[in-house]
Amino acid sequence: MVQDDHSLRRLAVALTTALIVAGCATSRVASGPPTSSPSAQPVPQASPQPLPLPTAPTPPPAVRENRLSPATGSLVTQARAQVARGDLPAASSTLDRALRIEPNNPLLWIELGKLRLVESDAHQAEICGRKALALASGDRRSQSQAGRLLADALRAQQRNQEAREVEKQPFMN
């Protein structure tokens, strides 16, 4: 009985191996005319045609909405409270910490730019506004907020014509 089990196992392994080998075998395609019929005419090879491009319309770009993470949201709330108390250096440090967590979040750059305007540093507010605008692509609300910050910073520098140009941009509507 033990020998029968052993023989059956060997047979099963042999069959499995044969099936695997048969499945892996590839068939070769003859490159010339078939050899079975001497009167067979060669089939002309068609030149490869490029595949047609899909005609479906391109979907609109994905709309995204920037948000603050819980950590940075808490820091922004803390910074706003510090501004309300008049502690601008502490608010600046708090927003710097938030930016170390999420350096590519335009909402944080907008907050920092608003703080720079309160500190009467319009040049730094402009830099923050431009950075926020660059990071806000795809988010109309963030683009609009960044544009308003940039226009306010430009006006604070007496660059009113440039501020009007920013306000004419499509994201400002």
123-136 pLDDT, tens digit each: 999 999 999 999 99
d(CA 75, CA 81): 10
pLDDT at 24: 47
When divided into structural domains, the chain yields a total of: 1
Residue 100 amino acid letter: R
- Domain-embedded: residue 121: yes
- Domain-embedded: residue 31: no
d(CA 106, CA 153): 16
- Domain-embedded: residue 74: yes
pLDDT at 133: 95
Q: What single DSSP character describes residue 49?
A: P
- Domain-embedded: residue 92: yes
d(CA 123, CA 118): 12
Q: Which residues in the chain show pLDDT less than 50?
A: 2, 19, 21, 24-30
Instruction: Give the domain CATH number at 157.
Output: 1.25.40.10
- Domain-embedded: residue 124: yes
Half-sphere exposure of 145 (CA within 13 A, CB side): 20
| 104 within 8 A of 134, measured Cβ to Cβ | no
For residue 88, what are the domain limits? Answer: 70-172
pLDDT at 172: 85
- Evaluate the CA torsion angle 121, 126, 131, 136 in order and state its sign: positive
- Domain-embedded: residue 114: yes
- Domain-embedded: residue 96: yes
pLDDT at 171: 86
| 106 within 8 A of 66, measured Cβ to Cβ | yes
| 43 within 8 A of 30, measured Cβ to Cβ | no
- Domain-embedded: residue 36: no
